[in-house]
Structure 1
Amino acid sequence: MPTELEELVDFISHGNTEVRQLAVENLVPYSLSQPSIFKTNELLPIKDLKLLVRDYKQIAKDAITILINLSTDREILEDLASDKEFITSMLGRLTNPAEPNANLLSMLLANLAKWDDLKYILTLERPAPEELGSNNKAIDQLLDLFVKGAEGAYNKAADYDYLSYLFADIAKHAEGRQYFLTKQDYDSVVPLTKLTVFTEHKSDIRRKGVASTIKNVAFEIDSHPSFLAEDEINILPYLLLPITGNEEYDEEDTMAMLPDLQLLPPDKQRDSDPSIIQTHVETLMLLTTSRQGRDVLREIKVYPIIRETHLKVEHDGLREVCERFVQVLMRDEEGEEKVDEGMRALSRTSMSKTQGHGGPGSWAHQDEEEDDDDDTIEEV
């Protein structure tokens, strides 16, 4: 005999709207506590939930929420992400400016990108709504939706912030990185430059996803000259502004910094999330892979900014990557004299009384170089 819970799952596909609504509403908590009940009969409940995504607003909302919760299961994740008809249907609803559950659909699509083969979305094509002003490539539509839809500008019910996590996962693949670095014919814009402007956005989700996307794309070492060029991607202002506070620097250092960093207001604050700052510093670390990158970062006086970040933000992961970054800048270049230009290694030590009491975990500068065997930056 089926249990009451199993019978409730069977009601997902009931012909009566009220019965379906009660079923999915009551099943939401069980999608977290007992996900196995949705895997019966060769995932038949999952097939039914896919159909409910197109149902009435509240039913669709609960169905999408259940699928978001269940997408952590590998078998269900693959079933959802590999279903191109379902993905195409989701895209149609996402790009509809009147879709009430667009944010939940964005979250679900971002979760599905954990299945590596969802990168097929890079080649998926479908008609775009006229309001979006995009082309027929699904990935272009999602990027334009993310840009135009910020803060409810495209759909009053959605901000599409979670799409930034989708972009970060797509950028883990070589094909994805190439997409973000290739100027698109329909608008003559490099896709990555559409995202960089959001590194100081008010949404933590949007900033975090964009930071991770930029970092993953930066693994394309051959494209670093484009990253650094002011008339191309010009990534440095968008990496340095979020990690810069209201500190005052020596006049010589200030004058050498990027123009964007020279006239900051006295109330300028660095990003409130240390993990986002860490991601930006890791991207800067990737840019030191080439001699050009190291020279540019030295020339525009990134070191003082990293020094102050290291000193002011109490976060072990961030401080460790700051130390590794400075060690790279300090290293001798082959056949040349020392290039530290006043830079000092950053290391853990308590602050001296003359510097002010910093408490546990405070940091100061020291002259000795530290071992930095682990300079590896991983994709996020």
Structure 2
Amino acid sequence: MADELDELIDFLSNSSPQVRGAAADIVRGLTGDSDGLRSLAARADRALPALLRLLASVGGGGAGEAAADSLVNLSQDGDLAARLVVLGAVAAAMDVMVKRGGEQPKLARSLVMLLVNLTQVESGISALLQVGDEKVQGLYVAKLVRSFCRSSCDSEDEDIFEHIASILVNISKVEAGRRILMEPKRGLLKQIIGQFDSTNQLRKKGVAGTIRNCCFEADTQIQNLLSIAEYLWPALLLPVAGKKIYSEEDRSKMPPELANALSHEREAVDDSEIRERALEAIYMIVMQMMDERPFGQSMGHGYCRLVMKTKRT
């Protein structure tokens, strides 16, 4: 069996497209169960580079999709994910997605899922952020955000880029990622917040988690956060506001964009994870506002009263 598997890995680099495609399909099947994953992991020094070469091959076609699926399954292992990062998997995935993602949506979806796994490890986050190269730092992230915001779809089955939500959560766990997302000139966080209106729960959770993570920078980035307040506050407060239609008196104390949203009936956000992340973000922002200046204290107390009122309803 060992000799057969070694031969199969060799076939991934065969000069014949048909042979490469057949081998890639078999490898994809092997990565679908634990025994196959263990066997391939034991040969990772040969299997991973071969799969990456096949992925990057211009004429890869279906073989490229099979290679991407195999890499997604293999990269669930943190050690293998780290090895893939060293082999340049992040750059390869982004390059293929940009060049062929439009023509091969299934491939694009798999590449996004691969990046989700690769950004579970610290080296993968750094590679995606392009840390260390100031000329291109944040370029990959900007491309992903652009795809994420242009592709929203009511049908989750057709939402090719929905898993970018998880990538954004992963990269916003580190300071460098948060700063790229919050850089005013890029305007990435503002774009991301707009996806909170999506009917796709994965997107909503990802947006809520990303906002919450970015709020860990509130002590140094409060002005950047408040500069997009007209988008930020509705995204954070509506999940905890329930279905209640607020009185004119209550709404008169709110920012106009929030008052308008709370003036009519709406669907409640039932997902407890989204509500929890929203409350954590509100808390971090309000506490920083109250430390800033007297005006911030009054505004902060106002938001605190609103949150407490929504929690009781």
- Partner SS, residue 95 of structure 1: helix
State the SS of the aligned residue for 1:256: coil
Q: Which residue of 1 aligns with 2:108?
A: 102
Q: Shift of the alpha carbon at 1:229? A: 4.5
Q: For residues 37 and 165 of structure 1, what CA distance do their matches in structure 2 show?
A: 29
TM-aligned CA deviation for residue 27 of structure 1:
3.0
2:129 counterpart letter in structure 1: L
Query: 1:58 Cα shift?
Result: 2.0
Q: Please state whether the residue corresponding to 2:49 is helix, strand or coil.
A: helix
Deviation of 1:252 (Å):
3.0
Question: What does residue 242 of structure 1 align with?
Answer: 239
Aligned match for 1:275, one of 242, 252, 273: 273
Distance 1:260-1:115 versus aligned 2 partners, 3 A rule: same
Structure 2 letter corresponding to 1:47: P
| 1: CA distance, partners of 2:242 / 2:250 | 15
State the partner residue of 2:82. 78
1:313 match:
none
Query: Which residue type is aligned with residue 183 of structure 1?
Result: P
Residue 307 (structure 1) aligns with: 312
- Deviation track 1:3-57 (CA, whole Å, cap 9, x = no partner) reads 6555444433333333333333233343241212223445201111111213533
Structure 1 residue 99, shift from structure 2 partner: 3.9
* 1:322-371 deviation per Cα after TM superposition (whole angstroms, max 9, x unaligned): xxxxxxxxxxxxxxxxxxxxxxxxxxxxxxxxxxxxxxxxxxxxxxxxxx
Cα deviation for residue 192 of structure 1 reads 1.2
Higher fraction of helix: 2
Flag the structure with larger Rg: 1
User: How far apart are the structure 2 equivalents of 1:50 and 1:103?
Assistant: 16
Question: CA 1:295–1:65 in structure 2 vs 1: closer, same or farther (change >3 Å)?
Answer: farther
Q: Residue in 2 aligned with 1:369? A: none
Written as runs of structure 1 = structure 2, the 5 A alignment for 1:290-369 is: 290=288, 291=290, 295-300=298-303, 301-308=306-313
Aligned partner of 1:121 in structure 2 is 128
- Note if contact 2:244-2:265 (Cα within 8 Å) is conserved in structure 1: no
Give 5+ residue unaligned stretches, structure 1: 129-134, 309-380
Distance 2:151 2:30 in 1: 32
What do residues 169-212 of structure 1 show as CA deviations (whole Å, max 9, x unaligned)?
Answer: 1111111111122223xxxx432111111112122222221211
Question: Which region of structure 1 is more displaced relative to structure 2, 10-19 or 205-214?
Answer: 10-19
CA distance in 2, matches of 1:218, 1:246: 26
Question: Shift of the alpha carbon at 1:59?
Answer: 1.6
* Superposition TM-score, scaled by structure 2 size: 0.80
Whole-Å separation in 2 of the counterparts to 1:246 and 1:42: 53
1:37-48 alignment runs, 5 A limit: 37-41=39-43, 43-48=45-50
Over residues 265-321 of structure 1, what are the superposed CA-to-partner deviations in whole Å (9 max), with x where a residue is unaligned? 75511234321222111211222433256643431423222222xxxxxxxxxxxxx
1:252 aligns with 2:249: yes
**What is the count of residue pairs matched by the alignment?**
292
**Cα offset, 1:91, TM superposition:** 1.4
Q: Which residue of 2 aligns with 1:18?
A: 18
* 8 Å contact kept, 1:93–1:99: no
Task: Give 5+ residue unaligned stretches, structure 2.
Answer: none
For residues 136 and 75 of structure 1, what CA distance do their matches in structure 2 show? 25
Match of 2:143 in 1: 141
Taking CA–CA contacts closer than 8 Å with sequence separation of 6 or more, which of the two structures ends up with the larger relative contact order? 2
Distance 1:29 1:7 in 2: 16
**Partners of 2:271 and 2:42 in 1: how far apart?**
42
1:109-137 deviation digits (Å, cap 9, x = unpaired): 12111121232432367999xxxxxx993
Contact 1:167 1:209 in 2 (8 A): yes
Could you tell me which residue of structure 2 aligns to residue 168 of structure 1? Answer: 169
- 1:127-186 Cα shifts (integer Å, max 9, x gaps): 99xxxxxx993222222232234349xxxx8642222222221111111111122223xx
CA RMSD across the alignment: 3.1
Distance 1:83 1:4, change over 3 A: closer
After superposition, the Cα gap between the structure-2 partners of 1:240 and 1:136, relative to the gap in structure 1 and judged at 3 Å, is closer
The aligned residue for residue 65 of structure 1 is: 69
In the aligned structure 2, how far is the partner of 1:294 from the partner of 1:165? Answer: 34
Residue 251 of structure 1 and its aligned partner are, at CA, apart by 4.6
Q: Percent of aligned positions with the same letter in both sequences?
A: 23
Poorly superposed stretches of 4+, deviation over 6 Å: 124-128
Range with bigger deviation, 265-274 or 279-288: 265-274
Matched, 1:201 2:201: no
Equivalent residue letter for 1:115? V
The TM-score, its normalising length taken from structure 1, stands at 0.67
